[in-house]
Amino acid sequence: MKKFKVAETIEQWWQTFEKDPKGTWIFSIVWLATIVWIAFLWNLGNTGLIDETEPLFAEAARQMTVTGNWITPYFNGETRFDKPPLVYWLMAIGYKLFGLNSWTVRFPSVLAAIALTVLGFYILRYFGFANPAATQPQALQSGRTQRQLWLSAWIGSALIAFNMETLIWARLGVSDMLLSGCMGGSLFCFFHGYVSKTKKEHSQSILQNPFSKISNSWYLAFYILLGLAVLTKGPVGIVLPGLIICLFLLYVGKFRQVLAEMGVFWGGLIFLLMTVPWYVLVILENGSAYINSFFGYHNFERFTSVVNDHWAPWYFYFLIVLGLFAPWSIYLPLAIARQRVWQRNFWVAQPRYAQLSLFALFWFAVIFIFFSISVTKLPSYVLPLMPAGAILVALLWSEELTKNSLSSGQKNQQKNSYGFLLSAIVNILFLILLAIAFVFVTNFFGPDPTAPNLRESLRASGLTGRGGIIWATTAAISIILLSKRERWGWLSLTNCIGFVACFVFVVTPAFFMLDNLRQLPLRQLSQTIVRVQQPGEDLWAIGIKKPSIVFYTQRPVQFFKNQFFLRVYAKDPENYSKHSDSLLILSQKKFISKIPLAAQDYESLNEKGAYELIRVAKEKVFAPEAGVRGQGSEVRGQRLGEMGSMN
């Protein structure tokens, strides 16, 4: 009886929640807290760092705390000019406050993801109108419009967090999520500043008063976040927001007016004061080496040519958005088409607060096109467009959930309904294919030299079958909902529940399994190294390049990729420590066995997973005289060189 009354109370509240602001805000806080906990904080520090990129950032930040040099990042004794310092600074500060652990390494990414989710909720709550008609004076006061705004905020915040692109990079200690948070936050703040009423109306253009003041605090926050974006990843942090805003303002015919409102001169001064000092200091400290590496190689060359073999066809990001924004990506074509961007006069006539969906479209399109043009392509590059995609789809679904009956007979409404029906059918087909793919996914796994038992372990875990059941159930419920027109909007909730269930009960356990099979052995062997290493003893990693070894041992590691580098290194006696006659070698067990050593020539210190740690006397590996090699030494060099091919 009590359960029935509780259900009845919930149903009554749902029917009239927009009339209870206090209760609705309490629900919203609980909603946001649940989202950010599950998506970003749950089990955050319970797995180790993931090779190959995450430990590079973690160790460079640790080196700052050790050396006291907060200008130039270093990894393994070499400068690391890939990224500006903000992510390193935040990690290093975290080490001071919370200690050296994977949770601290990832916290800057998590903080950025949480801020982006909460700010997205706030913007959608007040400006997330599904269509301009809802912004008419009589419509603004209606319960339907207020309900639609709340639904936009709830759905949009969930979609910003619960997509695989965001979930992956929000849980990694790299710079991508921090860039997305700063860039996305700056665009949200710009739009709020664009909408906000100022104390003094700005009728003049930027040409009339180039030194006009910043008209509101949201524009000020925009400039600050823009500066942080540039300190996170360089020029792209201002180039992309600048393109988005300029193209949007030109389209709506408010370019000069809004630039005057923004106080570009003073905002630009704030931006320069935030960003220029570090760039000046790092150039003074490193000279042309930094300029050529960061601006030349890591920015210009990445855009104009293929860097580090990261090539992909022109349609690469269509596949990335489709897969890593799924299942929401299925509704993106309809969400984009309903903006009717070709009707420019219509949009120019709309009030500013009715233009969020149009702004989100420019946000999405500019980033997508920019990186599609770029020659070097990586999945993480389009991470900053995910909030825009979430906004577009959330507005579509919130309109569907609050739409009046088709009895109105409006042509546009009918077209949108046909489009939604088609999208929903594709959605269900996708869920069915996803369920089948989960069941048979292990058949497509190739051999993994770092985790030889991965396929068998995954099959034995039952996780693939569990994923198949989750998505098959989601598809079945979606079919039932699609059978009645008034239930179509609830497909959003069905998809979201299925996605979260898959993340909690399949993806997270699978991630723990991968960590145990691939990364845990390296952490355990790193602990052994710290325990057994002798003063001045060299550490070589042959045939593997795992930066996590440097982070967990907190010492330099010499990585050998192939025969050429190994021979060059071995010919110079200056490369050997003069304080120890032995060295530690970490490699895969199958490669250790190929080193031409008798059993008594080395000591096996530990074996974990596919790896083995041994101690070898230096003269047993290479002849002591510099530059002289006998045939046996040459053979040993060739056999060690065989291990280079894996990296």
CB 370 within 8 A of CB 385: no
- Compute the mean pLDDT over every residue in the chain, rounded to the nearest whole number: 85
In the structure encoding, which two tokens stand for residue 548, read together? 């996590």
- The pLDDT assigned to 133 comes to 67
DSSP-based three-state secondary structure for 516: helix
- Sign, CA torsion 451/453/458/462: negative
Collapsed DSSP state (helix, strand, coil) of residue 559: strand
| pLDDT higher than 60, residue 134 | yes
Q: Which residues pair with 538 in a beta bridge?
A: 583
- The residue length of the chain stands at 647
State both tokens at 326.
């799924």
Alpha-carbon span 560 to 203, nearest angstrom: 65
Would the pLDDT of 61 be above 80? yes
Asked whether 94 and 104 are in contact (CB, 8 A), the reply is yes
Quick one: average pLDDT of 233-240?
A: 94
What is the rounded CA–CA span in Å between residue 213 and residue 125? 28
Q: Determine which of 142-151, 191-200, 486-495 has the lowest per-residue pLDDT on average.
A: 191-200
Kindly tell me if the per-residue pLDDT of 563 is higher than 50.
no
Residue 127 has pLDDT above 70, yes or no: yes
User: What pLDDT, in 10s, does the model give residues 68-106?
Assistant: 999 999 999 899 988 999 999 999 999 999 999 999 999
Buried/exposed 271-297: b ≥16 CB within 10 Å, e otherwise: beebbeebbeebbeebeeebeebbbee
Confidence category of residue 464, pLDDT binned at 50, 70, 90: very high
Q: What is the band of 632 on the pLDDT scale with cuts at 50, 70, 90?
A: very low
Provide the token pair at 114. Answer: 């949480």
| Residue 495: other Cβ atoms inside 10 A | 25
What is the SS3 assignment for 184-228? HHHHHHHHHHHHCCCCCCCCCCCCCCCCCCCCCHHHHHHHHHHHH
DSSP 404-456: PPGGG--HHHHHHHHHHHHHHHHHHHHHHHHHHHHHHGGGG----TT-TTHHH
- Using alpha carbons, list the distances in angstroms from residue 210 to 218, 237, 264, 268: 19, 24, 8, 12
Token pair, residue 553, equals 């041992």
Angle at 205 between CA 201 and CA 211, to 5 degrees: 90
- What pLDDT is recorded for position 9? 55
pTM (two decimals): 0.90
Six-digit token pair at 309? 């073999």
End-to-end CA distance of the chain: 65
pLDDT of residue 636: 38
Give residue 367's identity as a one-letter amino acid code.
I
Whole-number pLDDT of residue 130: 84
Average pLDDT rounded to a whole number, residues 544-549: 91
What is the spatial distance between Cα 332 and Cα 374, in angstroms, rounded to a whole number? 23
Can you name the residues that pair with 220 across neighbouring β-strands? none
Query: Which residue bears the tokens 């009717």?
Result: 340
